[in-house]
């Protein structure tokens, strides 16, 4: 019983941290879409990480990419499309974020490569995607991972960011460590990123 309570507490704390970061990132991205300097700063900061992530995930131009938690400023989707030539579907559960994001994508002329939709990561049918990126502020992460375990095809890749490697424990708690294999890791100053491969 105590083990079960500890698992629930860990999942709650992980999702709570992600909710807090969601509000922080929304504020930063809202400022970035309205301020050129801050937009450039935030995008360049993200670019360094995503170039590393694209390398370890070995993303090809022919891959169908899903980005869960694309936000108000979909700079990650932009970087993925620019660096690889792949088409990217970004989803976000905030209608306001989606509307602002679509306007921004149209403004910079990338609507032929990046598609933004309103949706929930725990419900999206993901079977046609070869690579899935999960933003650090996406929640409930446990339900999203369960959905991807159920719907992704074998050998599909997931790249997710986390604090304190907390998602690795959720994979064990939700019995998803039999479905996914951790293939690689990027250590950033405050976060870690893990590459998962779907084994079955």
Q: What is the mean pLDDT of each run of 10 residues along the chain (200 residues)?
A: 63 66 64 70 79 93 96 91 96 94 93 96 94 89 93 95 78 90 86 89
State residue 25's pLDDT score.
66
State residue 20's pLDDT score.
65
Quote the CA–CA distance of 23 and 27 in Å, as a whole number.
Answer: 6
Nearest to 132, CA basis, from 85, 77, 71: 77
Quote the CA–CA distance of 97 and 120 in Å, as a whole number.
Answer: 13
Structure tokens, 80? 């993925």
Domain ranges in the chain are 2-198
Are 195 and 57 in contact by the 8 Å Cβ rule? The answer is yes
State residue 32's pLDDT score.
66
DSSP code for 199: -
The contacts of residue 90 (CB under 8 Å, 6+ apart) are 67, 70, 74, 76, 77, 101, 114, 115, 116, 117
Q: Is 185 helix (H, G, I), strand (E, B) or coil?
A: strand
Pick the CATH number of 2-198 from 3.30.70.1140, 1.10.287.10, 3.40.50.10810, 3.40.50.150: 3.40.50.150
State residue 17's pLDDT score.
65
State residue 6's pLDDT score.
66
The contacts of residue 26 (CB under 8 Å, 6+ apart) are 71, 72, 94, 97
Are 148 and 126 in contact by the 8 Å Cβ rule? The answer is yes
State residue 163's pLDDT score.
75
In this structure, what are the phi and psi dihedrals at residue 62, rounded to the nearest 5 degrees? -90, -10
């Amino acid at each position: 019983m105590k083990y079960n309570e500890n698992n629930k507490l860990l999942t709650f704390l992980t999702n709570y941290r992600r909710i807090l970061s969601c509000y922080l990132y929304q504020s930063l991205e809202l400022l970035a879409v309205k301020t050129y300097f801050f937009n450039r700063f935030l995008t360049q900061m993200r670019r360094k990480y995503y170039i590393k992530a694209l390398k370890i995930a070995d993303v090809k131009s022919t891959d169908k990419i899903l980005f869960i938690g694309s936000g108000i400023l979909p700079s990650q989707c932009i970087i993925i499309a620019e660096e690889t030539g792949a088409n990217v579907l970004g989803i976000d559960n905030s209608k306001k974020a989606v509307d602002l994001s679509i306007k921004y994508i149209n403004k910079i002329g990338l609507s032929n490569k990046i598609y933004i939709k309103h949706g929930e990561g725990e419900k999206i049918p993901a079977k046609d995607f070869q690579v899935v990126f999960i933003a650090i502020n996406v929640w409930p992460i446990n339900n999203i991972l369960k959905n991807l375990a159920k719907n992704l095809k074998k050998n599909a890749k997931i790249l997710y960011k986390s604090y304190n490697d907390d998602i690795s424990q959720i994979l064990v708690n939700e019995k998803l460590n039999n479905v996914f294999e951790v293939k690689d890791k990027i250590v950033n100053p405050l976060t870690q990123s893990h590459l998962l491969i779907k084994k079955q």
